[in-house]
Chain A
Amino acid sequence: SAVISQKPSRDICQRGTSLTIQCQVDSQVTMMFWYRQQPGQSLTLIATANQGSEATYESGFVIDKFPISRPNLTFSTLTVSNMSPEDSSIYLCSVAPRQGYGYTFGSGTRLTVV
């Protein structure tokens, strides 16, 4: 299965600033997913990113707040913009598997907004 390198692993940010999270995959993948995990909660999908097209956002998430780039088949970024303490969460990227393999996740970015 694919191996994902996610950076940064954690960060503490001031409110009103932005943070960009990167995910690099060791193989070409069609679809990448970005999830948020708020403290004590399960994972919620933010958006699906396909190479060469606009990301598709889930209800409650908007492009202005969470812009996503997908410049090629091995890389994607998620930016958390104009941050507030409510954005403090773990953010994870994931890739869809090849036939017969499970989904793979990055190691996560633990974001604290102060």
Chain B
Amino acid sequence: KQEVTQIPAALSVPEGENLVLNCSFTDSAIYNLQWFRQDPGKGLTSLLLIQSSQREQTSGRLNASLDKSSGRSTLYIAASQPGDSATYLCALNKAAGNKLTFGGGTRVLVKP
């Protein structure tokens, strides 16, 4: 059974510092890995999708890497801003169209 872990559970940084969020998984047979952002009480916003054949994806200040052999993905957010404060969730699936298995999330606070 796939288990997804995100450490740390919470993170507080001063504005301008780079953020490094970790996601680890126990079964390397994944199809896609996706990073989401969730604001309090709201739905999920997709940030980046990494397909199993890819090693990284970039969008603006965000960069996500994937290392299937070690069961890890890392989300980097450069030059953090107070607006980046949210919970970040990683999720993955085993095959196209299958359900997502979520990590517990990392709650980020960026202090002005």
Contact = CB atoms under 8 A, between A and B. Distances in A.
A90 B102 contact: no
A97 B34 CA distance: 12
A113 interface: no
A102 to B, nearest CB: 4
Interface in A1-17: 1, 6
Interface string A11-26: 0000000000000000
Contact of B43 (A6, A48, A100, A102): A6
B22 interface: no
- Interface size class for chain B? 20 to 34
B43 A103 contact: no
B51 interface: yes
B99 A108 contact: no
B49 interface: yes
A63 interface: no
Contact of B34 (A30, A42, A100, A103): A103
Contact of B97 (A41, A92, A96, A104): A96
Contact of A48 (B49, B96, B99, B104): B99
